[in-house]
Chain A
Amino acid sequence: SQQGEEDPQALSIQEGENATMNCSYKTSINNLQWYRQNSGRGLVHLILIRSNEREKHSGRLRVTLDTSKKSSSLLITASRAADTASYFCATDINTGANNLFFGTGTRLTVIP
């Protein structure tokens, strides 16, 4: 079964608003990553947060990690129409498998 589950499945906001997506996972992790996928394209790595970190920023992106709740959130501030895409969390689980397990994704639509 998939390791991560995102919610909401779909999110529609107005340009300029903030978008928050959540990810829950099941087992202990080395790190958690967020990827973006534009329609018809591959996934692009956005940001990685280690298991011993609680918050990380990159430009308009802010990621939090709560290992006690096995959850993460991705916040996109001041959204733009170009942020419209699907966003996936992926976990590098603590088995040495060198594999990432992806969630089901959140489809974000930013309305201009």
Chain B
Amino acid sequence: GAGVSQSPSNKVTEKGKDVELRCDPISGHTALYWYRQRLGQGLEFLIYFQGNSAPDKSGLPSDRFSAERTGESVSTLTIQRTQQEDSAVYLCASSQIGTGLLSLHFGNGTRLTVT
């Protein structure tokens, strides 16, 4: 596709339920990032995938958060036992590492509301 695609665009879930968010990066982009953005705030780094290397999970806020990526394609971010504090927009970005300069291409995000 032409850009980074995220689904769903909106998700409302009850506290305690699990949710899965999906990201389709730009074809050929080896790097994929997940960020969290709370209302009116900046971006909080969650996790980074680069090719077949072990992901950088240093930003995941708790063990309820996990993410997977198969090869250089789709990634899913899973939040288990959701809490109201998880309500935020979850942004995915991809990049083509190795061109010398890193700039990210973002999707429009998934707005998660935990009730």
Contacts and interface: CB of A to CB of B under 8 A. Distances in A.
Interface of A: 2, 30-31, 33, 35, 40-45, 48, 50, 88, 90, 92, 97-105, 107
Given A98-B50, A102-B35, A44 B41 contact: no
B42 A92 contact: no
Interface in B76-115: 91, 93, 97, 101-109, 111
B26 interface: no
Interface string B30-63: 0101010000111111001010000010000000
B108 A97 contact: no
Contacts of A35: 104, 106
Nearest to B105: A45
Interface residues of B, number: 26
Contacts of A92: 101-102
B21 interface: no
A100 B107 contact: no
Nearest to A107: B40
A10 B35 CA distance: 22
B106 A98 contact: no
B67 interface: no
A42 B43 contact: no
Given A101-B45, A105-B42, A33 B103 contact: yes
Contacts of B93: 42-43
Contacts of B97: 98
B25 to A, nearest CB: 12
Contacts of A105: 41-42
Contacts of B101: 31, 48, 50, 92
